[in-house]
Amino acid sequence: MNSLTCLVDLYKCYEVLKEESVIFSHQGALDGEMIDIIIQLADKKLVKANARVRIKKKIINILVECLQNSYHYTASLPNEADWLMIIESPYVIVSYREDAYYILTGNLITRERAEALKKRIDEITRLDDEGLQEHYIRSLDKDELPKQGGAGLGLIDIMRRAHHRVSFSFEEVDEKLSRFSMLIKVV
């Protein structure tokens, strides 16, 4: 591929981002500093997009949970064969369409992790508002405080803040890895 074709392709990509009303996007490894920058960027972009304070707060809080979930997962991995692929895989896109904001986010995970996550998601998505609230309180009110992460509260918190408007997908990438994605609608 020559450099001109490459530029044309990149421009097409930019056009797609514009057409899809993408407010901002990020792809690549996450660390504390990077999460900080993404959150600050999201904050500024949402203010510029005239998002209401209620919506902006919800989106920022959901983004923090999503990005930190990815960060804690990747930070816990042993530095083995697929490590770099997983580390570099997190992505997030925030867009606006027809009176709603959408957060699309995901990352590569091991197939083993995917199975455990599917079970947890299955448990959470079955719950109605009341059930989710009870589950949240039970998970929050632990005698022992977590030394890392939010001890599994993140997904429940996202479901609550988004009023259940969350869809999940798992796509098998190869015999070891799956791509986990979440689409969250905020209205």
If one asks whether residue 187 binds other proteins (CB under 8 A), the answer comes out as: no
Residue 155, Ramachandran bin (φ over 0: left; ψ between -120 and 50: alpha; else beta): alpha
Strand ranges across the sheet with 91-97: 22-27, 91-97, 100-110, 177-186, 166-172
Determine phi and psi for 32, rounding to 5 degrees. Answer: -55, -45
Token output for 151: 């001890």
Contact code string over 109-138 relative to other proteins, x by CB under 8 A: ---------------------------xx-
Q: Which run of H or E residues covers position 116?
A: helix 111-125
Q: Give the contact letters, 78-97, x = binds to other proteins (CB under 8 A), - = no.
A: --------------------
Residue 145 is a binding residue for other proteins (CB under 8 A): yes
- Tell me whether residue 8 or residue 140 sits nearer to other proteins (CB atom): 140
Smallest gap, in angstroms, from Cβ of residue 136 to other proteins?
7
Q: How far apart are the first and last CA of the chain?
A: 42
Nearer residue to other proteins within complex by CB, 109 or 155: 155
Query: Is 148 an interacting residue with respect to other proteins (CB under 8 A)?
Result: yes
Question: Considering only CA atoms, which of 21, 152, 182, 187 is closest in space to residue 91?
Answer: 182
The answer to whether 74 contacts other proteins (rule: CB under 8 A) is: no
Nearer to other proteins, 17 or 153 (CB): 153
Cβ atoms within 10 Å, residue 2: 7
Q: Could you list the residues that contact other proteins (CB under 8 A)?
A: 32, 35-36, 39-40, 52-54, 57-58, 60-61, 64-65, 68, 71-72, 136-137, 140-142, 145-151, 153-154, 157, 160-161
